[in-house]
Amino acid sequence: MNWSTDIMLALPEVILLASACALLVIDTFSKDSGRNITYGLAQLILIVAASVAIYLYTGETSYAFGKTFVSDPMSTMLKVVVCIISLIVFLYSHEYLKKHEWMQGEYFVLGLFAVLGMMVMISAYSLLTVYLGLELLSLSLYAMVAMRKESQAASEAAMKYFVLGSMASGMLLYGISILYGVTGTLELNQLSHMLAVQTEQNILLVFGLVFIIVGIAFKLGAVPFHMWIPDVYQGAPTAVTLFISSAPKIAAFAMAIRLLVDGMQPLLIDWQQMLVILAILSMAAGNIIAISQTNLKRMLAYSTIAHVGFLLLGILSGTEAGYAAAMFYVITYALMSAGAFGVIILLSRKGFESDNLNDIKGLSDKSPWFAFIMLILMFSMTGVPPFLGFWAKWFVLKEIVDMGYVWLAALAVVFAIIGAYYYLRIVKLMYFDKAENMTAIKASRQMRLALSINGLALLVIGLMPGFLMTLCLAALIK
pLDDT category at 201 given cuts 50, 70, 90 is low
The tens digit of pLDDT for each residue in 91-135 reads 999 988 888 877 888 899 999 999 999 999 999 999 999 999 999
Which of these, 163, 46, 36, 27, lies nearest to 114 by C-alpha position?
46
Residue, of 254 and 359, whose pLDDT is higher: 254
How confident is the model over 47-68, as a mean pLDDT? 90
Residues 6+ apart with CB under 8 A from 92: 239, 242, 338, 341, 342, 345, 447, 450, 451
How large is the average pLDDT for residues 378-391? Answer: 91
By C-alpha distance, which of 456, 458, 444, 297 is closest to 369?
A: 456
Instruction: Give the H/E segment covering residue 367.
Output: none
Tell me the average pLDDT across 450-468.
Answer: 91
199 pLDDT more than 80: no
Q: What pLDDT was estimated at residue 61? A: 86
pLDDT score at 177: 93
The answer, yes or no, to whether residue 202 has pLDDT greater than 70, is: yes
Number of domains in the chain: 1
- What does pLDDT average to over the chain? 89
Residue 192 in this model has a pLDDT that exceeds 90: no
Over residues 404-433, the mean pLDDT reads 91
pLDDT of 364 reads 86
The model's pLDDT over 273-290, given as tens digits with 9 standing for 90+, comes to 999 999 999 999 999 999
Residue of 255, 455, 463 lying closest to 374 (CA atoms): 455
User: What are residue 352's phi and psi, to 5 degrees?
Assistant: -140, 115
Residues 164-177: tens digit of each pLDDT? 999 999 999 999 99
Q: Mean pLDDT over residues 427-452, rounded?
A: 84
* pLDDT tier for residue 406 given thresholds of 50, 70 and 90: very high
pLDDT at 274: 92
- Rg over alpha carbons for the chain, rounded to the nearest Å, is 21
93 sits in which H/E element: helix 73-99
Please tell me the predicted confidence (pLDDT) of residue 28. 85
The whole-angstrom separation of Cα 20 and Cα 23 is 5
Q: Report DSSP state, residue 63.
A: E
Determine what percent of the chain is predicted with pLDDT higher than 90: 58
Assess whether pLDDT exceeds 60 at residue 234: yes
Residue 1 pLDDT > 60, yes or no? no
In terms of residue numbers, what domain contains 323?
3-476
* Average pLDDT value for residue range 358-383: 89
The predicted-structure confidence for 10-32, as pLDDT tens digits, reads as follows 899 999 999 999 999 988 887 77
Q: Distance between CA 342 and CA 241 in Å, rounded?
A: 11
Give the lowest-confidence range in 87-91, 196-200, 396-400, 422-426.
196-200
Contact status, residue 19 vs residue 48, Cβ threshold 8 Å: yes
- Report pLDDT digits (tens) over 136-189: 999 999 999 988 888 888 889 999 999 999 999 999 999 999 999 888 888 988
Q: What is the DSSP string of 155-192?
A: HHHHHHHHHHHHHHHHHHHHHHHHHHHHHS--BHHHHH
With a cut of 80, say whether residue 349 has pLDDT above it: no
Burial class (CB in 10 A: 0-12, 13-18, 19+), 102: middle
Q: Torsion angle of alpha carbons 121, 125, 129, 134, nearest 10°?
A: 20
